[in-house]
């Protein structure tokens, strides 16, 4: 069941990463360090969420 939605979840979680990278690399001025903290927390959250979903997918296939 989760397999057909997993690619949509990956795409949904990747869009903010793409927007963040465009924003960070297009800004000429220095940017505060808390942007990186927000990015790191988001990456941690999305990685954990995808890991849980992939484990559920593997469990359902067995």
List the chain pLDDT tens, one digit each, 62 residues: 556 677 777 778 888 878 877 777 777 666 666 777 777 888 888 888 888 888 888 887 77
* The pLDDT value given to residue 31: 65
The DSSP string of 22-41 is: HHHHH--S---THHHHHHHH
Which one-letter DSSP state was computed for residue 11?
A: H
* The pLDDT value given to residue 15: 85
Distance CA 8, CA 33 (A): 30
CA angle at 41 for the pair 24 and 31, rounded to the nearest 5°: 25
């Amino acid at each position: 069941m989760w397999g057909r939605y997993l690619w949509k979840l990956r795409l949904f979680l990747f869009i903010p990463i793409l927007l963040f990278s465009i924003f960070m690399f297009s800004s000429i001025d220095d940017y505060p360090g808390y942007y990186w903290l927000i990015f790191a927390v988001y990456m941690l959250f999305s990685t954990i969420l995808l890991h849980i979903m992939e484990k559920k997918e593997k469990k359902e296939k067995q």
